Amino acid sequence: MKKNKQNKTNYCIITRPDNCQMDDINLHHRFLNWRRRIREIGEMRPARERYMRLLKDGDTLSYQGNSDEVGCYVAPHPLSKGNCYFEVTIVDTGVRGTIAVGLVPKFYRLDHQPGWLPHSVGYHADNGKLYNGNPVGQQFGPKCGCGDRIGCGIHPDNSEAGFATVFFTKNGKELGSVEVPMAADGLFPAIGMHSLGEEVRVDLQAEWLLEEDDTVMMVDSHEDDWGRLYDVRVSGTLLEYVGKGKSIMDVGLAQACQPLTTRCHYFEVEIVDAGEKCYIALGLARRDYPKNRHPGWSRGSVAYHADDGKIFHGSGVGDAFGPRCFRGDIMGCGIMFPRDYILDGEADMDDWEQLEVCPRQGGIQNVLYLNDEEEEEEGSNELEHGRQGRKVTVFFTRNGKLMGRREVAVPPGGLYPTVGMLSSGEKVKVDLHPLSG
């Protein structure tokens, strides 16, 4: 009897020693540590600023392209809660003044102005427009020129998830804000330029200090100091032009409620913002001076004009007189009264409506009230009748230095401090009593 042979399959199970499994685990941990180490080294590496077609010398940037292509600078660090603001001072506007200041993502294209591409925003100095992720801008603020400071910052407390509230300033005053999508790496300060000669100075550590507001801090609003205001807004001692600024008929006029006298014979104006054209004038004018005429242009007025440094005396044609005036300059105007000069009612300063000029002899015919169509004869008539009446010497100053004098006939009621403005953004600070106190 045969026995059946059974086929037996032998399985060999190979088991790895415990020390091999430990080697795999250690290798995995070494790989994780190696990857973490690389990431830490990358984070420890100093952040680098990026720029193209620009020359950087310290904190100064200047355009080095051929005016056909944009040059752009991107700062090494984004704005943060601890460093939420920066400023750019325009040193030179170059050929076109196409300077832009704003915020962009970390790897923004350096051949585009800030604001032209998505997730970026930029305020452009040449046209005062704001570009918010779009090559088509919207009117936002005044144009900016040489010497102006453009600031840009974020309001961390006003930002929502995924968006940042970005604001812009000009010469320390906030112009407005806009919501901007927040990139993953944050929003980086950026400056763009696009024409030969453009140069700026950058302060990435600037602090945003809210400028003291005259409307809040001033107990006396000083509105009572002004008898007439046309297209001019008053906030304490600050006068701001709010007219259209499109034609010479859009003059903004501010006239004091009291004329200059022997007791108060001088006043000053500081140019806080020159606006687009610096069409700012200060001088003296009769009480019923036309509201749509710059002081000096019509009869019964004399004025020093900041934009061209000319003096206008009852005529639309000015004479060379002094230097042009700019932001920060202080212009002054006063009267040198004769020693025997007396105003009726000056002893009682409460009733200004009764003030009249006391002529030396006879009554004065007020040629300063002639109709505008007779303007061609003004010079001869004023000179002729001025001999019969009272004249005073009006003088003008710039930053405390005498610029010159002009002899002027005084109309009934006296000569009133008058300020004129005619372009967007113009602001002046007025001191009607700088020699008192």
pLDDT given at position 156: 75
Instruction: Mark the ranges of the chain whose per-residue pLDDT is less than 70.
Output: 1-25, 28-29, 31, 35-46, 158-161, 210-222, 342-389, 436-437
Model confidence over 278-297: pLDDT tens digits? 999 999 999 999 988 999 99
305 vs 6: CA distance, rounded Å: 122
**Residue 9: predicted pLDDT:** 52
Identify which of 124, 125, 102 has the alpha carbon closest to the alpha carbon of residue 114.
102
Q: Which residues pair with 152 in a beta bridge?
A: 86, 168
Contacts of 13 (CB under 8 A, 6+ apart): none
Per-residue pLDDT tens digits for 367-425: 333 334 334 344 444 433 433 458 899 999 999 999 999 999 999 889 999 999 999 99
pLDDT of residue 246: 86
The pLDDT of residue 7 is 53
Residues 188 and 75: beta-carbon distance below 8 Å: yes
pLDDT for res 260 = 93
At residue 292, the pLDDT reads 87
Question: pTM of the full predicted structure?
Answer: 0.46
